[in-house]
Chain A
Amino acid sequence: MKAVDDTATRLLERFQGERPGDASDWIAGLRRDATARFAEMGLPNQRIEDWKYTSTKAIAKRDFARPDAAGATADADRIEALRIPGLDAHRLVFINGHYAAALSDGEMADDAVRVRSLAQVLAEDPDALKNRLADAAPTDFSGFTALNTAFAEDGAVIEIAADRRVERPIELLFVSMARDEPVAAHPRVLIDAAHHGEATIIEHYVGMDDPQNLTNAVTEARLAEGARIAHYRVQRESRKGFHIGSLHVNQAGNSRLEQHNVQIGAALCRTDINTALNAEGAETLYNGLYLVNGRQHVDTHTRINHNKPNTTSEEAYRGILDGHARGVFNGRVYVAPHAQKTAAYQSNDNLLLSGKAEIDTKPELEIYADDVVCTHGATVGQLDTQALFYLRSRGVDLETARGLLLYAFAEAAIERMSIEPLRDWLQGFVIDELPHAERLQEFV
């Protein structure tokens, strides 16, 4: 196939092969179209406005192999060690994108929820995905989405029944493992919540043995009338790895999405979090935390489309950047004509701990209705001197006071998360990253 550039050509060649679902005309067609779209688009470049601050050259430079399903094994104890302590979740484990049944809690099926691996659904019942896969997530959202749609072969399908609440969180643990050569995984997750269905879903991305792999993940979700989904994205990939991820949600009336986006790993991480509020009473909370240092690059693009009146969104992203780290935050809020009584609040607060760290933050408000309340604010700064003085006046030494305020800054994001073990783990993680961790322990 003729592609836009050599990289696209090479990637298309590298990733080709048989995949579950090929036998379905519908799936095969979807993949063919996506392949063609990727051939036209290639990887995003910095001439595209949405990718202005993030170069994909480091990804283009590497030659990622396609991991095989048979290699989806790992030492169970080592996987166990990746657990968030105390988190009682139904867990599905994926090794380099492939479902590892032996390491997982297995298929989940009761009157409230059904959780299956995507590979299984593609093999056994591909047509069940018709008009659901590549529905909320447009194939051409970016070159990466096209690539995922063309080559996704595993992931998860989560279906929540109407009027049911799934008590246990569902954790999808994506482990990126070092192999002889770097590999690329394209996990795909489909979440379908029927009316008034409720669930908590955690996508947990971890690197093991410092791989230089690429994770190119796409999740799409459909929230029917009154559905409530808490969706967590915890990204702690290898510091040599690459993580591209996107979430695409369609929300019906009175539904509620809570999206928590934690980004701490990867050399390069880009996440796109998108939701469309398509009927009255729909609401969304976006809560983000990025903690980066060294030469890490973290780029978050969010989008909230208020397509109907009386919809609400609240978005708060916080970041701490040290060393030569580079951050990008772009928060787009769109309010359609006639989407009156929309309320949209956005904030992005950043602390730069070194003179070499950098953040580009930009709100993007497109408002076509007049009776709305939309606010936004971005801060880039150092620690609050008044708060530092307060702590020191209580006898806390300067270094410890600084650490406590950094912790407190992150905590403002962490405390919005309702899963206690996740909060505890993140708090511990933040403290361990700070100087004088042992002294800070006394205060929390």
Chain B
Amino acid sequence: MTEPMLKITNLHARVEDAEILRGLNLEVNAGEVHAIMGPNGSGKSTLAHILAGRDDYEVTEGSVTYKGQDLLEMEPEERAHEGVFLAFQYPVEIPGVNNVYLLKSALNAKRKHQGLDEIDSVDFLTDVKQKMKLMGMDESFLKRSVNEGFSGGEKKRNEVFQMMVLEPELCVMDETDSGLDIDALKIVAKGVEQMRSPDRAIVLVTHYQRLLDHIQPDRVHVLARGQVLKSGDKQLAHELEEHGYDWIRYEEAESA
């Protein structure tokens, strides 16, 4: 059997004095879509940030390997070059820095790392325009600054759009569904579905089940108190929807 693309073993992490992840295990294979669900404070956003390299968290134990490499040893930009992408829950506004130029520079940095030439400007723009259309983004977007003056929904769509242009191998999406109305949710789901590929893994971090009405996950994991308490197929998400997170805690108590 081949190595999983992402392998998290007994991961412990803390921020200041609070231990947030307490022995988390997870394996994600290329070609799969995983949903990580959990109540607030379960550590799911922390996990997403650690995967992308945010250094506010201290990993105290355990390991993360990505494509056989020690992910935790890599700087955030190296991870991006290696194909890790985090869609932010709260994308940051950067006035004066053009959306498209940032994207082009991000893409070229990755290509350079792969030993490829810079992308042809015309090809790039054609690709960008086609994907913008798919995400229902206005042409004016090309001239705007990164996330500046974007509505919450626009910011989320922009994250998915960036992901589509950069074509990462590991997509980690941190509550991309939160704050979206149903139309925006459908557009986002369509974008994610489009990204599904045998060479790519997608990890959806979400509080609610509703995104999973539109994206079919291969695996669902329930996180609580910094651990994966239960894993299953998409049926698990429906059960959660029906019974709430307390159901898992109850089951856990029963088995203890």
Contact = CB atoms under 8 A, between A and B. Distances in A.
Interface in B158-192: 162, 166
Interface stretch (B90-98, B134-142, B213-221, B242-250): B90-98
Given A395-B109, A395-B110, A396-B105, A407 B80 contact: no
B105 A442 contact: yes
Contacts of A412: 95-96
A394 B106 contact: yes
Nearest to B76: A392
Contact of A394 (B54, B96, B102, B145): B102
B53 interface: yes
Contacts of A398: 75, 77
Interface stretch (A121-129, A327-335, A379-387): A379-387
Contacts of A390: 88, 91-92, 94
B97 A395 contact: no
Contact of A444 (B85, B97, B109, B166): B97
Given A415-B96, A443-B98, A385 B106 contact: no
B96 A414 contact: yes
B52 interface: yes
A44 B91 CA distance: 49
A393 B91 CA distance: 11
Interface in B63-93: 75-77, 79-81, 85-86, 88, 90-92
A425 interface: no
B76 A389 contact: yes
A405 interface: yes
Interface residues of B, number: 33
Interface string B93-133: 01111100111111001100000000000000000000000
A393 B170 CA distance: 13
From B86, B92, B94, B106, name the one whose CB has the most chain A CB atoms within 10 angstroms: B94
B233 interface: no
B215 to A, nearest CB: 22
A442 B107 CA distance: 12
A427 interface: yes
A443 B102 contact: yes
Nearest to A389: B54
B92 A444 contact: no
Nearest to B79: A393
B3 interface: no
A443 B104 CA distance: 9
B13 to A, nearest CB: 16
A427 B96 contact: yes
10 contacts: A390-B94, A392-B75, A395-B109, A396-B77, A396-B106, A398-B75, A405-B94, A408-B97, A408-B145, A443-B97
Given A389-B54, A407-B97, A443-B102, 11 more contacts: A391-B102, A394-B103, A395-B80, A395-B105, A395-B106, A395-B166, A396-B109, A397-B77, A442-B105, A443-B97, A443-B98
